Amino acid sequence: MPASSRDLRLDFFRGLALIFIFVDHIPENVLSYFTIQAIQLFDAAEVFIFISGYTAALVYGQTLLAQGSLYATARVLARAWQLYIAHIFLFVMFIAEVSYTVTTFNNPMYNDEMRVGDFLDEPHVAIVKALLLQFQPTFLDILPLYILLLAIFPAVLLGLRWRPLIVLIPSFLVYLVVQDTNLSVPAYPEGHVWYFNPLAWQFLFIAGAALGFPGRHSEQWSRWSRPLLPLAAFAVAVSFVIKLSWTLHGIWDPLPGVLLKELWPVNKNNLSAIRLIPFFAAVAVAAAVVRADAVILRSRVAKPLVLCGQQSLEIFCLGILLSALGHFVLSEYDSAIGIQILVNLAGILVMCLTARMLDWYKTMGRMQVPRSTPAQFGRGNRIDT
């Protein structure tokens, strides 16, 4: 697939989601008032998972159609393995940070409660549970979801090739069952569940995949969604008014939060319909407003975001590490608003520069072996799933 025909919207919006995830993960961060979660009932996690499903189907769907199911399966599983390694790496970094802080900090006022140390108490269990994706400390909860979704993805791909509804209907039914029964997946320690309930979130990923699978569906999708566009715009507007009022209510109490008592808390673990419906509406609106050939996507301003979106795994992991570091700097040294903004900007700059460097590195790598890679897939591979 030639670069010019690739849908840069995927890269752009995923890049934006990665920046938002970084910003939102720094606690008490003034910039988090300017991310999507401040003005919509959903947040960057939905964007990330949906686009990841879409691009996974796009890239591996092409592999499936051109090189057969066995090779497509192998590629998907290789990617899942790569994500798993990344997850374990982040976990080790997390352990290092927490162990260090906990063992150097000794104050009886906190000791009894602050033993983050469930895993310092029994490391042999905790590490095995981490390897099994059952131990998911803060920030380390989205990659396990992604890994699990990729592990089942070969079957999803085959289903999508045959009849999309064969995949979509069961996926949606499982989602509905979760909404009704609160069914969840157990985690460690005892009594915990997966933060991103895979039984619910799979629907978002698979819906993205159904739309992204190469071939017939994209035309149908735009024909379908056009008449629904005013309704979608209305849903986005309602979600905007509600969430903005909550955000402002949080800053200044006398401003009332619209429907706050009725709707809050909106369940994120199970991807409540109150999040999902505005998200799908926002996808329809964004797809209609920002065309695939929009000039802005090729502009210099959008370039860094597009690059971040293309190198999503590395930039995601980097973002998680940087938000932990940013949090550390702000809580340890100074958290004046100026410093907060500086920490955010520095993090975003590092993310963008890293994406630029990775893009250069991978492009150079491809140029050295032009004959071994068929040209059309050489470019297609560049889209990170």
Q: Give dist(CA 287, CA 309) in Å, integer.
A: 17
Contacting residue, 218, 245, 335, 381, with another protein by CB under 8 A: 335
* Residue 222 makes contact with another protein by CB under 8 A: no
Q: What does the per-residue mask of binding to another protein show for 314-333, with x meaning CB under 8 A?
A: -------------xx--xx-
Q: How many CB atoms lie within 10 A of CB 258?
A: 16
Residue range at the interface with another protein (CB under 8 A); choices 62-70, 81-89, 216-224, 265-273: 265-273
The residues near 342 (Cβ < 8 Å, ≥ 6 apart) are none
* Residue 34 makes contact with another protein by CB under 8 A: no
Contacting residue, 111, 181, 220, 299, with another protein by CB under 8 A: 111
Q: Is the peptide bond before 265 cis (omega within 30 degrees of 0)?
A: yes
Report CA Rg, the chain. 21
Give min distance, CB of 264 to another protein, in A. 7
* Residue 180 makes contact with another protein by CB under 8 A: no
Contacting residue, 78, 115, 299, 357, with another protein by CB under 8 A: 115
* Residue 137 makes contact with another protein by CB under 8 A: yes
Give the amino acid at 288. Answer: A
Q: Within a 13 Å sphere around the CA of 330, how many CA atoms are in the beta-carbon half?
A: 25
Q: Give dist(CA 293, CA 291) in Å, integer.
A: 5
Q: Which residues make beta-bridge pairs with 186? A: 193
Contacting residue, 216, 261, 300, 371, with another protein by CB under 8 A: 261
* Residue 267 makes contact with another protein by CB under 8 A: yes
Q: How many residues lie near another protein (CB under 8 A)?
A: 45
Contacting residue, 88, 102, 158, 350, with another protein by CB under 8 A: 102
Q: Give dist(CA 127, CA 86) in Å, integer.
A: 15
The residues near 200 (Cβ < 8 Å, ≥ 6 apart) are 175, 178, 179, 269, 270, 271
Of 205, 252, 241, nearest to 80 by C-alpha is: 205
The footprint of another protein on residues 36-95 (CB under 8 A) is none
Contacting residue, 77, 174, 266, 277, with another protein by CB under 8 A: 266
Give min distance, CB of 252 to another protein, in A. 9
DSSP assignment, residue 137?
-
Cβ atoms of residues 46 and 204 within 8 Å: yes
* Residue 181 makes contact with another protein by CB under 8 A: no
* Residue 98 makes contact with another protein by CB under 8 A: yes
* Residue 123 makes contact with another protein by CB under 8 A: no
Whichever of 124 and 261 has its CB closer to another protein, that residue is 261
Contacting residue, 3, 27, 71, 122, with another protein by CB under 8 A: 27
Contacting residue, 81, 89, 162, 264, with another protein by CB under 8 A: 264
* Residue 108 makes contact with another protein by CB under 8 A: yes
Which region holds residue 348: left if phi is over 0, alpha if psi is between -120 and 50, else beta? alpha
Q: Is the peptide bond before 154 cis (omega within 30 degrees of 0)?
A: no
Tokens encoding 206: 């698979």
* Residue 110 makes contact with another protein by CB under 8 A: yes
Q: Give dist(CA 252, CA 246) in Å, integer.
A: 10
For another protein, the binding residues (CB under 8 A) are: 27-28, 97-98, 101-102, 105, 107-116, 118, 136-138, 189, 191-193, 195, 247, 250-251, 253, 260-261, 264-269, 327-328, 331-332, 335-337
